Amino acid sequence: METNYNEDSIRSLEWDEHIRLRPGMYIGKLGDGSSPDDGIYVLIKEIIDNSIDEYIMGNGKTIEVSINDKMVTVRDYGRGIPLGKVVECVSRMNTGAKYEGKAFKKTVGLNGVGTKAVNALSSHFTIQSIREGKTKIVRFENGRLSEESGEELNNGRKGTKVSFVPDEEIFGKYRYIDDYIEKMLWNYVFLNKGLTIHFNGAKLHSENGLHDLLTRNIDTPMIYPIIHLQEDDLEFAFTHSATQYSEEYFSFVNGQHTTQGGTHQNAFRESLTKTIRDFYKRDFDSNDIKTSIIVALSIRVNEPVFESQTKTKLGSQYMDGNDKGVTIRNFVADVLKRRLDNYLHMNPETADALLKKILQSERERKDMASIKKLAKERMKKVSLHNKKLRDCRIHYSDNHERRLETTLFITEGDSASGSITKARDVNTQGVFSLKGKPLNCFGLTKKIVYENEEFNLLQAALNIEDGLEDLRYNNIVIATDADVDGMHIRLLLITFFLQFFPDLVRNGHLYILQTPLFRVRNKSKTIYCYSEQERRDAMEELKGKPEITRFKGLGEISPDEFGNFIGKSIRLDPVLLQKDHSLKEMLEFYMGKNTPDRQNFIIDNLRVDLDLIES
């Protein structure tokens, strides 16, 4: 059938229509708030970035952030937007002061899109600017102007106040996780020494920059005190962990957390290897230098080029943003060579500790060489991609938007694996099948990762042997039954990741899949319930005598039904590490010897669970 193609077929989208139609182009994936890179957090970041830019330019030392229900409010004390341009700055594409290089130099974003995206993707958006003794307030609904005040007298402190509610029509049912927001805000104060951020009444402040960042984030013993150096537009801090195996990076460009690294991080890794080789006059293997290293790295460049609007990977080659002048590679190499070499000469105890760590890594690598070889041969024999892993089609392709959606479900049992495999999105979701309960690896060395077939194949499926830079799945989801055996498998898998790949957990990649405990339905409606309270609410809603089914395991859920739980309505609980417990102490408590403290903990929590069931 031939369709009509004429002038009526051509239309131009309004600025907000385009953003609402293609939100992934502007904020990456949408999500429900369970992941730190979900869109609702990107919206907060886009507003705060503007306040940070004001601080960098010397305007306003305090930013206030609050969340009340789903309303986010950000108040800064910068210069305030010129009152005659408030509407344009939040609703006209490619409008902003950042195009003027003299006003905003090494800032986070230069394309004038961020605030417009927040406006377009919010059901309610209000902005107030205060400057020169006057104020103006503008309100939008779903990206459309609904109210614009005139300029009024106001003697309050100058600055900008933005309030918004992400639109549930776009984001669905979402929730904010304070841990994600606090981590983002702490990064802002670490990168902007002297800045104070108030978040829901709590004060965040740092005087020692990246040194404070590492101090707050490292929860394992350190081989030597943190080395913290800064010069011009480069700041870095690092140490080696006594118990961690992989590399871990907290890298930033103009204050933006580049979780996927980029040219600056590659330059640091390369320059660090060369500087240490030159200092000790030994041709160390680069892996021996970088094993167990934890690094915080921040660089500021003119007009940075990122991979996408979400700015997770730096692509720039030059410090000035143009294809001329000093390269980022040469700049980092020069600063690192001079400053680190000088530091090691002036701190011989640290230099000795670093040398011992490198030599230890060298011995362990050589001891592991034969084991790794055998492990790779064994992996070929079992045919990873046919027997253990049902892969997805996209992996980490050039499609950045879909890369963020890639998910690997780790499950146990043929029936559960089969149901998930049949129900999944084959483009973005993979399934890894366990063979019974995995080994309790607490206290074991990384040698076990290669000797144990399950761990070796899982490591290969995720491609995390050498760090997270080439992680094949953005979301790793443990999908087990909600019974005692399922809980035990969850705990054993979490122990595996915390023992050998803690940065994967710290960076928000590990989740627990929540599946319904009950199905409550009548002839007209079906409600899936994830708790006893939801079951009671569903029975009340459906009235009468609805049919109630208790799901005892994942294998009992048909593939058709499973599609409801791993699609857009998927419920994920992130595995979060609390700062007030060290990783070593936590693993010792839960997975170590059976102590009286743990026995009491289990008994107390068992009583709580029984009380809930009886109620």
> Are the beta carbons of 110 and 103 closer than 8 angstroms?
no
Single-letter amino acid, residue 453: E
> Can you list the domains of the chain with their CATH numbers?
15-205 (3.30.565.10), 209-367 (3.30.230.10), 383-515+552-580 (3.40.50.670), 518-550 (no CATH), 584-615 (no CATH)
Beta-carbon contacts of 100 under 8 Å, excluding residues fewer than 6 positions away, are: none
Q: How far is the C-alpha of 138 from the C-alpha of 157, rounded, in Å?
A: 18
Count the Cβ atoms, other than its own, within 10 Å of residue 607. Answer: 10
Q: Please give the structure tokens belonging to residue 69.
A: 């229900």
**How does residue 97 score in pLDDT terms, banded at 50, 70 and 90?**
low
Cα dist. 464→260, 337, 538 in Å? 14, 29, 43
Nearest 5°: phi and psi at 15? -55, -45
Minimal CA–CA distance to 329: which of 350, 299, 305? Answer: 299
Q: What is the largest CA-CA distance in the chain?
A: 82
Choose among 427, 451, 426: nearest CA to 439. 451
CA 32, CA 35: separation in Å to the nearest integer? Answer: 8
Q: Residue 139 has what DSSP assignment? A: E
pLDDT in tens, 314-358: 888 999 877 778 999 999 999 999 999 999 999 999 999 999 999
In the predicted structure, residue 440 carries a pLDDT above the cut 60: yes
CB 296 within 8 A of CB 214: yes
What is the mean pLDDT of the segment spanning 279-291?
95
Q: Which of 161-170, 202-211, 239-248 has the lowest mean pLDDT?
A: 239-248
Mean pLDDT in residue range 242-253: 88
Asked which of 189-198, 204-213, 356-365, 406-415 is least confident by mean pLDDT, the reply is 406-415
User: What is the C-alpha end-to-end distance of the chain, expressed in Å?
Assistant: 62
| CA distance linking residue 150 with residue 16, whole number of Å | 24
Give the least confident one: 117-131, 407-421, 524-538, 576-590. Answer: 576-590
Q: What is the mean pLDDT of residues 78-83?
A: 92
Please determine, for residue 376, whether its predicted confidence score (pLDDT) is greater than 70: yes
Structure tokens at 65: 């952030």
pTM of the model: 0.83
Q: Which residues are within 8 A (CB) of 337 and not within 5 positions of it... i.e. 6 or more apart? A: 271, 274, 275, 278
SS3 238: strand
Q: pLDDT tier at 560 (50, 70, 90 boundaries)?
A: confident
Are residues 265 and 520 in contact, defined by beta-carbon separation less than 8 angstroms? no
> What backbone phi and psi angles, to 5 degrees, belong to 441?
-95, 10
pLDDT band of residue 133 (cuts 50, 70, 90) is very high
Distance CA 384, CA 395 (A): 15
Q: What is the pLDDT of residue 473?
A: 92
| DSSP H or E run through 487 | helix 484-500
Q: What is the mean pLDDT of the segment spanning 244-269? A: 89
Cα distance between residue 252 and residue 262, in whole Å? 10
pLDDT in tens, 157-177: 999 999 999 999 999 889 999
pLDDT in tens, 570-594: 889 999 887 656 677 677 766 776 6
Strand 510-514 and strand 475-479: the pairing is: parallel
Alpha-carbon distance of 270 to 332, in angstroms, equals: 10
